[in-house]
Structure 1
Amino acid sequence: MDIAENAALVVVDVQQGFEDLDFWGRRNHPGADGNIAGLIEVWQASGRPVVFVRHDSVEPASPLRPGQPGNGFKEYVEQRRGKEGGGAELLVTKSVNSAFHGTPDLGAWLKDAGIFQVVLVGIQTTMCVETTARVGGNLGYDVVVVFDATYTFDVEGPFGRRRDADEVAQASAVTLHGGGFARVVTAADVLAGAT
């Protein structure tokens, strides 16, 4: 696959609060954090831009609330932010699902930089990653979702129906890809196209 020379890696909500499995429940993709870290390093080494997105929850019980330790980025992300020699870097904060509805305006930043391709990684596959992909696709960006560099949690829906993290992540991938919002690929696919 082709990864543009100026493709932006958008790292969605890779925050410490998602380590609280008592709050969130069972997760999938245990290798996702390693894939995210590896992709950040490749992007920085190639001089491509990286966007770090942080969810500032307004929910009182959320571990992602500002002022809580869980609001901060996971250590491996924090260690890579501001790395010397990397490309452009942006921090976007939001309190809703889509990174395109945060501050500063991600779409305006991408447009000003002439960026048309965004590569999404992060948490949760089925929430903020998926919503960012859908909005990005609607806005006309070439959106790539790196499936094994995302993860999500078991969820309960209407009528008492529960689905495990793998099921909902697969459904998200199918609807994003099949619906034309994004190409859903693996980290290996992206690394092959980015080097």
Structure 2
Amino acid sequence: MPNPLPALIVVDVQRAFDEWETAGKRRNNPDAVARIVDLLTAFRAHGAPIFHIRHKGTKPNSSFLPSRSGYAVKDEACEAPGEAVIVKHVNSAFIGTDLESRLRAGNITTLVICGATTNHCVETTTRMAGNLGFDARLVRDATWTFERIGPDGDTHSAEEIHAMTLSNLNGEFARIVTTHEVIASLEAVRQ
């Protein structure tokens, strides 16, 4: 029987992204981490499952090497005792990890996905969740990304990249939702 509660998947809320921003990379959605805290608080209050995903870099210059300060999780999004922490080495939280088997063992069918960055690890994890048959819900105000230079040298703003990623995922791989909608749906399950 499916678990009536969704699982919260918190992707890569690590200090490396703060370091990137300090170094001058421009991001969108400055309140995303505060929304992630809201989600963590609500899921904990409802006893809903939470999975924290950490990216462990493998390249010598990666900001996410365990020996570097960027690997650490941001304090405000730290796991509570008993919450699962899954370490990945590629963009998808499903590749090379036991995330899928844990979700299936818990009869979890609905995933609420948040974290960083929208167009990399969040997008890849969300696409795979949808392809694996999960009811994936990507939280638009609890994700963020950075501006990028395209193959033709054009600068694409973080806002544009975020919006396009949400558009690409919407309806095909996931439902795009807000933190408020997720918390309201948790309340509805409890009643």
Query: TM over 0.5: same fold?
Result: yes
Counterpart of 1:163 in structure 2 is: 156
- Cα distance between partner residues in 1 of 2:129 and 2:94: 7
For 1:89 and 1:181, how far apart are their aligned partners in 2?
26
Q: Give me the whole-angstrom Cα distance separating, in 2, the residues matched to 1:52 and 1:146.
A: 15
Q: Displacement of 1:23 after TM fit?
A: 4.8
| Regions of 4+ moved over 3 Å | none
Which amino acid in 1 is paired with 2:54? R
* Aligned amino acid, residue 88 of structure 2: K
Q: 2: distance between equivalents of 1:156 and 1:22?
A: 18
1:184 aligned onto 2:184: no
Distance 1:60 1:23, change over 3 A: farther
* Aligned residue runs from structure 1 range 12-91, under 5 A: 12-20=11-19, 21-23=21-23, 25-78=25-78, 80-82=79-81, 89-91=83-85
> Measured at CA, do residues 74 and 106 of structure 1 come closer, stay the same or move farther in structure 2, by a change above 3 Å?
same
CA distance in 1 between counterparts of 2:15 and 2:96 reads 20
Find the partner of 1:174 among 167, 175, 182.
Answer: 167
Q: Deviations over 1:32-80 (max 9, x none)?
A: 01100010011011000000000001122222111111101000122x4
CA shift, 1:140, in A, is: 0.4
- Please report how far the alpha carbon of residue 81 of structure 1 lies from its aligned counterpart in structure 2 after TM superposition: 2.1
1:6 positional shift: 2.3
Unaligned 5+ residue runs, structure 2? Answer: none
Match of 2:86 among 69, 84, 92: 92
Post-superposition offset of 1:102: 3.8
For 2:136, what is the secondary structure of its paired residue?
Answer: strand
Q: Which secondary structure does the structure 1 equivalent of 2:152 belong to?
A: helix
The answer on 1:5 being equivalent to 2:4 is yes
1:140 to 130, 133, 143: 133
Q: Does 1:101 align with 2:100?
A: no
Corresponding residue pairs, total:
184
Question: Contact 1:24 / 1:153 at 8 angstroms: preserved in 2?
Answer: no
Contact 1:5 1:48 in 2 (8 A): no
What is the identity percentage for the equivalent residue pairs of Structure 1 and Structure 2?
Answer: 39
Question: Would you say the 8 A contact 1:7–1:116 is kept in 2?
Answer: yes
**1:189 is matched by which residue type in structure 2?**
E
Name the CA distance, whole Å, in 2 between partners of 1:24 and 1:124. 16
Displacement of 1:89 after TM fit? 2.5
TM superposition score normalised by structure 1:
0.90
Structure 2: which amino acid aligns with 1:101? I
Q: What amino acid maps onto 2:55 in structure 1?
A: H
RMSD over aligned CA atoms reads: 1.4
Kept in 1, the 8 Å contact 2:93–2:125? The answer is yes
Equivalent in the alignment of 2:186: 194
Structure 1, unaligned runs of 5 or more? 83-87
Q: Which amino acid aligns with 2:77?
A: V
